[in-house]
Structure 1
Amino acid sequence: MAYLYKITRDGRDFFASADDQPRFFVGRRVPYKDNIGLYNIFSGSRLAKLNFEAANFTGRFGFWAEFIEPTARCEGRNFLTLNSYDRAAFTFGFGQFAAHVAGGDFVHYLRAMLALPDARDYFPHLVLHDGHIHSIDGLGQRVELEDTSSTRGLMKYLNPTLDEVEDAEVIAAARLIHWTTQSQAARDAQVDQMVGTFKSFVADADKRLSIHNRTADQCCIIADILHHGRGGRMTWPLIAEALTRTRPFDALLAIGSGEWEERRRVLRAAIGANANFKTKRWDSARNDFV
Structure 2
Amino acid sequence: MAIDFTITSNVLPNGRTAFSAQRINSGEAKFIIGYRTHYEGNLGLFNTTVTNGQVYKPEDHAARHGFWAYFIHPTAMAESQGSFKCLNTYDRAKFTFGFMQYAAHVPNGDFVSFFKKLLQLPVAREYFPKLALQNGRIFYKSNNGTFSQLESDHSTQALMDYLNPTLNDIETQERICAARFVHWTINDPQQTEIQVETAITLYKENMKALDSRFDLHHAPAYVCAMICDIRHQGRSKNDRIAAALNTNGNYQKAFSNLCTIGETNYKPRINTVKNTLAKLTDQGLFSMKYDAGSGEFIPA
Q: TM-score range by the shorter chain?
A: over 0.9
Match of 1:142 among 137, 141, 147: 147
State the alpha-carbon separation in 1 of the partners of residues 286 and 244 from structure 2: 18
The CA distance in 2 between the partners of 1:278 and 1:133, in whole Å, is 38
Secondary structure in structure 2 of the residue aligned to 1:75: helix
Instruction: Work out the CA distance in 1 between the residues paired with 2:280 and 2:164.
Output: 38
Show the counterpart of 1:125: 130
Q: Distance in 1 between matches of 2:147 and 2:256?
A: 50
Q: Tell me, in whole angstroms, the C-alpha distance in 1 between the residues paired with 2:175 and 2:60.
A: 30
Moved over 4 A (4+): none
CA distance in 2, matches of 1:203, 1:37: 36
SS at 1:163 equivalent: coil
Question: Structure 2 residue aligned with 1:162, among 159, 167, 173?
Answer: 167
| Structure 2 gap ranges (5+) | 12-16
Distance 1:52 1:215 in 2: 23
The residue type paired with residue 286 of structure 1 is S
Q: Please report the TM-score for the alignment, with normalisation by the length of structure 2.
A: 0.92
Partner of 1:8: 8
Secondary structure at the residue paired with 1:127? strand
State yes or no: 1:54 paired with 2:62. Answer: no
- The amino acid of 2:22's aligned partner reads S
How far has the Cα of 1:138 moved from its partner? 1.6
Please give the alpha-carbon distance, in whole angstroms, between the structure 2 residues aligned to 1:73 and 1:121.
31
Q: 2:230 aligns with which of 204, 218, 225?
A: 225
Aligned: 1:30 with 2:34: no
Amino acid in the other structure paired with 1:30: T
Deviation at 1:277, TM superposition (A): 6.2
RMSD: 1.2
Q: 2:193 aligns with which of 188, 196, 219?
A: 188
Give yes or no for contact 1:25–1:48 (8 Å, CA) kept in 2.
no
What displacement does 1:179 show?
A: 0.7
Partner of 1:253: 259
TM-score where L is the length of structure 1: 0.95
Q: Deviations over 1:124-155 (max 9, x none)?
A: 11111110111111212111100110000000
CA drift of 1:121 comes to 1.2
Match of 1:211 among 211, 216, 236: 216
SS at match of 2:193: helix
Provide closer, same or farther for how the CA distance between residues 214 and 279 of structure 1 changes in structure 2, counting only shifts above 3 A: same
Which of 157, 175, 197 matches 1:152?
A: 157
Q: Which amino acid aligns with 2:267?
A: E
Amino acid at match of 1:242: A
SS of aligned partner of 2:19: strand
What percent of counterpart residues are identical? 37
Provide the rounded CA distance (Å) in 2 between the counterparts of 1:64 and 1:274: 13
1:270 aligns with 2:276: yes
- Following superposition, the deviation at residue 278 of structure 1 comes to 4.9
The worse-fitting range, judged by mean Cα deviation, of 197-206 and 154-163 is 197-206
Q: How many residues align?
A: 283
Matched, 1:75 2:79: yes
Rounded to whole Å, the distance in 1 between the matches of 2:171 and 2:79 is 25
Q: CA deviation at 1:253?
A: 1.5
SS class of match (2:37): strand
Assess if the C-alpha contact under 8 Å between 1:70 and 1:267 holds in 2.
yes
